[in-house]
A and B are shown apart, each in its own frame.
Chain A
Amino acid sequence: MTAAAHIALFVLLGPLLVGVVRKTKAFLSCRQGAPVFQPYLDLWKLFRRGIVRSTTASWVFDLSAPVVLGASLVLAAATPLWSRDVPLPMHFILFLYLMALPRFFQTLAGMDTGSAFGGLGSSREVAVSAMAEPALILSFCGLAYLGNADTVSGMVAGVPPGRVLWRPEVILLAGTMFLLLLAENARIPVDDPATHLELTMIHEAMVLDHAGVDLAMIQLASGVRLVIFSALVSGTLFPEALSLPAVLAVPAAVAKAVLSGGLIGAAEAGMARMRLSRIASYLLIATVLAAIALAVRYAG
């Protein structure tokens, strides 16, 4: 029962987070913007629509949307959002490698329609993720040291609470995770989810030929992934919130998601997109930051 509630909270918060990000961006660039709850309406619409399926596509394409969403839900089941207890405690290495499963199928689906856009998006997606991998593993190692546990939920909940701001390694790790959040969730400065030109896209180019139910599943999965990453960042900064009783913890989780949405929106509004060739140095910065956090741990 709690397992279902845990996953349902991720599914419900996903579109909200996306809505908050968009609204913040619109607000900061002096636009009206769509309502915060628009992503829910979009999903509702898409779930009731049929699909146009490319004649080129194979069964890999049909399987891709369920795999992408299903694997994201399994990852969500291991992420602490409102409590230190999660339905599926997962070793952090397993967690990181499981992220490759949805990516594998998503990028294959991009190639499966025989579209140049799909290939373009897939190629960039796998390249960005590959280069983000060392930074991800190092920052998770740092978190595991801090929280003194090997499971994702255990290590986030185990971060010693109090006076976070005085501890450089916590700040460095949360900062690295935030850089990685932007990179792994197709956000500015790595990718622009709202760009108008397919040639410059990464994520959106890959899903151009997905429609209706398939597109809804993939958008939902993107929302869930965003909640997973923001839960990791906010959990590291405010581990106390995970020990609250459920009556307070769930609203706290919603508040944290809205806050991260605001932060992501502000970061996006304040930056321009980088050239693709610069992404490598961006991710190298994240790697070095994570390494510094680990070095601080060894020194201290």
Chain B
Amino acid sequence: MPSALSYVLASAFLVPGILALLIRDPGRSRIVGFGGGAVASFLSLVVTLVGSMSDAPMRIPLPAPVPWAASELYLDGLSAFFLVLVFFIGFLVSVYAVGYMKEFDAHRRGQAAPLLLNLLLLSMAFVVSAGDMLSFLLGWEAMSLASYFLVVLDHEKREARQAGLIYLIATHIGTGGILLAFLFLVRTTGSFSFNGFAAVPIADPSILAATFGFALLGFGTKAGIFPFHIWLPYAHPEAPSPVSAVMSGVMIKMGIYGIVRFLFYLLPSPPPSFGATLLALGLLSGVFGVLYAIVQHDLKRLLAFHSVENIGIILIGIGAASFCQATGRPDAARLLLAGGLFHVLNHAAFKALLFLGAGAVLQGAHTRNIEKLGGLMRGMPLTGVAFLAGSLAISAVPPFNGFASEFAIYRGLWAAAGGAGSGGVFLAAMAGLALIGGLAVVCFVKVVGTVFLGNARSAQASAARDPSLSMQFPMGTLALFCLVLGVIPSLVLDRLTAIASFLPSVGVAAPAAGGKPFTVAIALAIAIGGLSLLRAFLLRRNGRRAGGTWGCGFPYATPRMQYTASSFADPILHVFRGVLRPHTTRKERLSGRFLLEVEQETHFHDLLENGLYLPVYRLFVQAAFQARRLHPGYIHLYLGYILGAVVLLLVFFH
């Protein structure tokens, strides 16, 4: 029965995608393709929610791709949670895409987008429900390829092709790492299924470390963890906005899924150093991600760097959870794992919301450069409200959902710090998390202030209007979701604590004293509502009039005199200039002794990109050029190679 249902749902994703390819009219193709994807996602969401009520894992056998290993889907609580994530965001993004993808109507290739998006959603669902190595890798590769083609959908643009290439290389290095990690497990356990992996622990610590290291490389690349993040700020901005929302909201979480699956299921009792490594990488990702985000001007690139930041926060939760588990702090471990998973869901919601908002801005004002925007709250009030809600959520301002999950992580860290021993580590993590939160506020005050408030900085910004209903609905739903989960986090958190309950615990963790966001939200609503009424009353009595902004006594004129996003970021840039390394070039045009024009450009080069990846890349290119000498095109030389190879083989293996 579940087997038949899963085939039906899978075809509900694929059939509309294929139909969209066949329909000539681009408008109808969009409605059939993306609309079909939305319906399929919605149905799957309902099925998953109903099905995940039972606690026993569900097994669905699959036709074996190879004769020597059985394949199956194995659905437990963790899989169900990630399935909800895929289908929830998939549903809303598909609805959004019906309206948004209109801009690809002129190109025939736009009609491939529904199939690719549905394939991406389906393959992610497959990844998180795979019960053995082969089906996992199959789903993983399908996911990587579908997202690659979506990134290069706009392949006439050079940037999109370049971003696609970087992404393709990164994702395959990642797949290589995952494959190696799995092969170590296969060698030790002699099994291909996840349950088989979990049954036999790896005894040799160096093999265990190698397995974890390769898994971290593979999943970390997909997740965009700090040293492996460089593909992310290229690929996210170039993909069409709904695709960015899926990639940033859901796809990079597949890396997190992999790490959790390995650390808590497949590798029984990992040493504390694994968790500590993840915790350190999480802090690095968080701080570097938000610092690089602050100095960006491209709205979507900025959001992409925030994905690195939030993956860091998730990793702080998961890494600390593993560390606590290994050092005998089971209660804290539960809280931390549940908090980390909760942040996975919350980040998916607010980041998808922000990317969809960025898409609406891009469609309305035709630019991603925030220095050319401004005052959009007037023309796009709905997008503005939704984007503001997303910004409050991502900055972890209560009572929004970003805070709810960070609070759970904080509580776990705090509980862990209270125990004996290495408490200082957790306090340092708390301080780091606090710094990340503070810097996120800087970044999103900058974004909302420059994009939506003040005066329009260009003609196209003042002409921007709210998008169509199909794009408004997902943004509104997500904004509401962010608020509701922030006010009543127990809706999800209790369920996640149940998922994390396989971690042994001495007792149920008591709810935090004074930690009820619900009470605070009510108090805030009363206070702010009452004061707003008071203000309205007093203004009616005392009078209000409209006037220009105070211009220091000078007639206030141009929008160019507003504070720019670069100036806004300058204090932080100044403090962290050692990390951010601004690179400024200045061109002056002189006429005699008079300065006519100054042109100044500041670029921020990713430390790792120049310091690590480019040199390695150049080394590879050089090696490839050297290797080219081996095949100069003479057939007799090639025959000589064959002869040499045969002789060598005979010498060594005969």
Q: Verify that A and B bind, or say they do not.
A: yes
Q: A47-B538, A150-B512 are in contact. Are A53 and B442 (CB under 8 A)?
A: no
Q: Quick one: CB contact mask for A130-144 with B, threshold 8 Å, 1 for yes?
A: 111110111001001
In the complex the two chains form, is B512's CB within 8 Å of A54's CB?
no
**B550 in contact (CB, < 8 A):** yes
Q: Does A9 contact B (CB under 8 A)?
A: no
**Contact check: which of A58, A59, A94, A120 meets B515 at CB < 8 Å?**
A94
Nearest to B374 among chain A residues (CB) is: A114
- B343 interface contact, C-beta 8 A: no
Is A60 part of the contact surface with B, judged by Cβ < 8 Å? yes
The segment from B430-438, B583-591, B645-653 found at the interface with A is B430-438
In the bound complex, how far is the Cα of B411 from the Cα of A78, in angstroms?
19
Chain A residue numbers with a CB within 8 Å of B544 are: 50-53, 212
- CA gap between A126 and B423 in the complex, in Å: 30
A91 partner, pick from B514, B548, B552, beta carbons under 8 A: B514
A236 to chain B, nearest CB (A): 18
Query: Closest residue to B532 on the A side, CB-wise?
Result: A66
Instruction: Check: B547 CB closer than 8 A to any chain A CB.
Output: yes
**Contact between A138 and B515 (Cβ–Cβ < 8 Å)?**
no
**How distant is the Cα of A98 from the Cα of B441 in the complex, in angstroms?**
12
Decide if B551 is an interface residue (CB 8 Å cutoff).
yes
Q: Is B427 located at the chain interface by the 8 A CB criterion?
A: yes
Is B600 interfacial (CB-CB < 8 Å)? Answer: no
- Using A55-B546, A287-B431 as known contacts, say yes or no to A213 and B514 having CB atoms under 8 A apart: no
Would you call A50 and B539 a contact (CB within 8 A)?
A: yes
A63-B532, A133-B434 given as contacts; is B445 within 8 A of A108 (CB)?
yes
Which chain B residues border A111 with CB–CB below 8 Å? 445, 448-450, 453-454, 563
Interface of B is mostly: helix
* A156 CB to nearest chain B CB (Å): 13
Q: How many residues of B contact A (CB 8 A)?
A: 85
**Interface presence of A104 (CB below 8 A):** yes
Assess the B528–A94 pair: CB atoms within 8 A.
no
Contact with B along A276-298 (1 / 0, CB 8 A): 11001000000100000011001
Q: Which residue of A lies closest to B519 (CB)?
A: A88
- Please tell me if A119 contacts chain B, counting CB pairs below 8 Å: yes
Pairwise interchain contact A100-B434, C-beta atoms closer than 8 A: no
In the complex, whether A267 has a CB less than 8 A from a CB of chain B is no
Q: Interface segment, A20-28, A32-40, A69-77? A: A69-77
Q: Cβ of B417 < 8 Å from any Cβ of A?
A: yes
Please name all residues of chain B whose beta carbon is closer than 8 Å to the beta carbon of A172 when the two chains form the complex: none
Minimal beta-carbon separation of A130 from chain B (angstroms): 3
Q: Return the chain B residue nearest A152 by Cβ.
A: B514
Complex CA gap A17/B261 in Å reads 56
Given contacts A56-B455, A150-B513, contact A113 B549 (CB under 8 A): yes
**Interfacial residues of chain B within 518-548, with CB under 8 A of chain A in the complex:** 519-520, 523-524, 527-528, 530-532, 534-535, 538-539, 542-548
Find A89's partner among B454, B513, B548, B563 (CB 8 Å cutoff). Answer: B513
When chains A and B are docked, how far (Å) is the Cα of A53 from the Cα of B535? Answer: 13
- CB-based contact A134/B520 at 8 Å: no
Contact of A276 among B392, B546, B571 (CB under 8 A): B571
For residue A115, CB closer than 8 A to chain B, the reply is yes
The answer to whether B513 touches A127, judged by C-beta atoms less than 8 angstroms apart, is no
Chain A residue at minimum C-beta to C-beta distance from B563: A119
CA gap between A53 and B536 in the complex, in Å: 13
B639 contacts the other chain (CB 8 A)? no
B575: Cβ under 8 A from any A Cβ: yes
> A50, B545: Cβ atoms under 8 Å?
yes
User: Does any Cβ of A come within 8 Å of B273's Cβ?
Assistant: no
> Closest residue to A276 on the B side, CB-wise?
B571
Residues of B close to A55: CB separation below 8 A: 546-549
A122 B449 Cβ-Cβ under 8 A: yes
Verify if A262 is at the interface (C-beta below 8 Å from B): no
B562 interface residue (CB < 8 Å to A): yes
Q: Smallest CB–CB gap between B144 and chain A, Å?
A: 36
On whether the beta carbons of A116 and B562 are closer than 8 Å, the reply is yes
CB neighbours (8 Å) of A48 from chain B are 542
Partner of A119, one of B423, B442, B449, B546: B449
Interface hub of B517, B535, B546 (most chain A Cβ within 10 A) = B535
CA distance A264 to B536 in the complex (A): 35
Q: Which chain B residues lie closer than 8 Å to A62 at the CB level?
A: 535
- CB-nearest residue of chain B relative to A130? B438
**Which residues of chain B in 416-460 are interfacial with respect to chain A, using CB atoms and an 8 Å cutoff?**
417, 423-424, 427, 430-435, 437-439, 441-442, 444-446, 448-450, 452-455
Residues of A near B559 (CB, < 8 A) are: 114
Contact assessment for B454 and A56 in the assembled complex, using a CB-CB cutoff below 8 Å: yes
Q: Are A114 and B562 in contact (CB under 8 A)?
A: yes
In chain B, what residue has the closest Cβ to A72? B527
Find chain B residues with CB under 8 A from A88 CB.
514, 519-520, 523
A60 touches B453 (CB 8 A): yes
B1 within 8 A of A: no
Expressed in whole angstroms, the Cα–Cα distance for A213 and B544 within the complex equals 10
Chain B 125-146 interface residues, beta-carbon cutoff 8 Å to A: none
Given A115-B562, A133-B437, A150-B513, is A93 in contact with B378 using a C-beta cutoff of 8 Å?
A: no
Q: Which residue of B lies closest to A154 (CB)?
A: B513
Distance of A122 Cα from B564 Cα, bound (Å): 12
Which residue in B403, B438, B561 is a CB contact (below 8 Å) of A116?
Answer: B561
B571, A149: Cβ atoms closer than 8 Å? no
- Is the pair B398, A101 in contact by a Cβ cutoff of 8 Å? yes
Whether a CB of chain B sits under 8 angstroms from the CB of A208 is: yes
CA distance A50 to B541 in the complex (A): 8
Partner of A100, one of B417, B431, B437: B437
- Sort A-B residue pairs by CB-CB distance and give the 3 closest, nearest first: A119-B563, A111-B449, A130-B438
Q: A97-B437, A298-B423 are in contact. List 12 more A-B contacts (CB 8 A).
A: A56-B455, A91-B407, A94-B520, A97-B403, A104-B392, A104-B395, A116-B562, A122-B449, A123-B446, A127-B572, A130-B439, A150-B513
Residues of B participating in the A interface, judged by any CB pair closer than 8 Å: 374-375, 377-378, 384, 388, 392, 395-398, 403, 406-407, 410-411, 414, 417, 423-424, 427, 430-435, 437-439, 441-442, 444-446, 448-450, 452-455, 512-515, 517, 519-520, 523-524, 527-528, 530-532, 534-535, 538-539, 542-552, 556, 559, 561-564, 567-572, 574-575
| A–B pairs, 10, beta carbons within 8 Å | A50-B544, A53-B546, A55-B548, A58-B378, A65-B531, A70-B530, A100-B397, A111-B448, A112-B454, A208-B550
